[in-house]
Amino acid sequence: MKHLITIVGPTAIGKTALSIQLANHFNCEIVSCDSRQFFKEMTIGTAVPNADELAAATHHFIQSKSIFENYTVGDYEKEAISKIDSLFQYNDYVILVGGSGLYVNAVLKGFDDFPDIDSAIREEVTANYENLGLNYLQEQLQKLDPDYFEKITNENPQTLLNPQRMMRFVEVCLGTGKPYSSFLNQKKNERNFTPILIGLEADREMMYNRINLRVDIMMNEGLPKEAENLYPHKALNALQTVGYRELFAYFDKEFTLEFAIEEIKKNTRRFAKRQLTWFKRDENTKWFDFQTPINKIIDYIDSQTKS
């Protein structure tokens, strides 16, 4: 039987270090599931594994794409499953690691199959959003798919403030003449592996201290310069990311540098809370304190492969 050891948890909790230890123990390779570490132009701000970490175990989907590519979660699902299937041809284990819940779900459960949308409709929705703002998108979704609008409002209201997601919902409704929700959960996606889900966590104070320290390290390693190089492309979807957005505001003279740094820390802490909320919904995840000895985690994995 093939097992996909899946490591999840909030940012800065130690997922990379654990994945390398497990990859070495099980003599297997690592598939990254961090939607920002895919991009080769974003290094410091996404905390990609360093050269020593990359040398310690074989990684896939680290800085393999460009911010200028239109790379979707559906694209990732297809490529990741293909890679995982190929790795399973010569090993019973593969490590999946990352903090992007939507992308983890795409690998474990499959991503819903949506039809292609006419580019003219996509451009029209984008233009209307740029002219009329988020209210336009919210009103359109409420009219075109009231059930899904109500579901989002009740379960994940932050989505209503995400223009990329909202534009996608609206363009699917307009392009197909059907509610966006009608395309969800259409079919069961078959997987040729059994997932073993490992979650890493820490008490809130420790988690926040680790986040604050990581931001300080990023600043010292040159994050402002990296963000400055990317500033001309700040409208790209890949750059709507904590750590870059705040520095772009500094370059626009909206923030002082000191305030931008504090905003990065605050927004990263908020992001970590959202990650935990997402991952805690899956009752199949076994949670460990980030300082748990590696042998205890290996013992748990071994117990799952024998059950």
What CA–CA distance (Å, rounded) separates 99 from 306? 27
User: Can you say how many angstroms the Cα of residue 178 is from the centroid of all Cα atoms in its chain?
Assistant: 28
Total length of the chain:
307
Q: Phi and psi of 243, rounded to 5°?
A: 105, -35
Q: Does 11 carry a binding-site annotation?
A: yes
Distance of CA 37 to CAs 86, 244, 267, Å?
22, 14, 18
Contact call for residues 243 and 223 (beta carbons, < 8 A): yes
- Burial of 189 per CB tally in 10 Å (0-12, 13-18, 19+): middle
Contact call for residues 13 and 204 (beta carbons, < 8 A): no
Q: Does 10 carry a binding-site annotation?
A: yes
What CA–CA distance (Å, rounded) separates 22 from 6? 11
Give the tokens for residue 210. 């680790």
Q: Does 266 carry a binding-site annotation?
A: no
Q: Phi and psi of 290, rounded to 5°?
A: -60, -15
Give the tokens for residue 77. 């699902």
Name beta bridge partners: 288.
200
Q: Does 243 carry a binding-site annotation?
A: no
Q: Does 15 carry a binding-site annotation?
A: yes
Count of CB atoms within 10 A of residue 16's CB? 25
Query: Please, what's the b/e burial string for 272-295 (b: 16 or more CB within 10 A of its CB; e: otherwise)?
Result: beebbebbeebeebeebebeeeee
Amino acid letter, 11: T
H or E element in which residue 287 lies: strand 286-289
Q: Does 256 carry a binding-site annotation?
A: no
Contact call for residues 78 and 152 (beta carbons, < 8 A): no
Q: Which residues are annotated binding-site positions for ATP?
A: 9-16
Q: Which residues are annotated binding-site positions for substrate?
A: 11-16
Q: Which residues are annotated binding-site positions?
A: 9-16
